[in-house]
Amino acid sequence: MGELDGKVALVTGGARGQGAAEAALFAREGARVVITDVLDEAGEQTAGELGCDYRHLDVSSEAEWEAVVADVVARHGRFDILMNNAGIFRPAQLLNTSTELWNQTIAINQTGVFLGMRTAAKAMIAAGNGGSIINTSSIAGLEGGFGAAAYVASKHAVTGMTKTVAKELGKYGIRVNSIHPGAIVTDMIDHMLGGGRDQKMIKRQPIKRLGTPHDIAEMALFLASERSGYCTGQQFTVDGGVHG
């Protein structure tokens, strides 16, 4: 028996990295998983390898969210877990941050999470089974970060939205929590870890290694399952102890 037997889960940004690891673990634990992404070829391949469904989803599009969630409910009859994983990171100091970069970051990282929570919550309430919404924030959603004003703003917003929506949805049996990864080795930050920067990060951590997508997936599984049944509106940091 898996921890998520009978549950239906949607994972955004599931083509690779943390999203793919989360989808794999959810599926292994018995959930029927739908992976979404804008990277259709990679998404289809990952879904095929995991035995999951794949749907194209631009998380900044209200219409696409409505269509994908309606399709999930029509196919599976319920909606239990939303893993809001999709996000982008485009480093730039304030004076070099274009309005285009700002708007794109906010649209995907912040508005995408808002649209996902709103659309999923409606489906969960209609199904009447409660649910778990898990939002990927960042340690950048807890503090400042040099050279990343847009990203930091978006991740602080995710932290705040999570706490607020948890208060609103608790009466429906829907829990809402956020995960705050530190340095996780994924395609998104690979380019940042050269030139010895990875070793500098490791030296200042109590746990002497960088994180992996599986580390985040394990926390996501905890929050998706009944093991976290009395947790909502909380921030769970997974960063090797840097912010302990």
Residues annotated as catalytic (active site), given as ranges: 151
* Integer CA distances (angstroms), 210 to 23, 41, 129, in order: 21, 28, 37
List alpha helices for the chain, DSSP H: 17-28, 40-50, 62-76, 99-105, 112-127, 149-169, 187-190, 197-203, 213-224
What is the rounded end-to-end Cα distance, in angstroms, of the chain? 34
For the chain, give me the number of helices (H) and strands (E)?
9, 7
In whole angstroms, what is the distance from residue 55 CA to residue 44 CA? 8
227 contact partners, CB below 8 Å, separation of at least 6:
3
In whole angstroms, what is the distance from residue 1 CA to residue 125 CA? 26
Structural Rg of the chain based on CA atoms: 17
Kind of pairing between the strands at 32-37 and 8-11: parallel
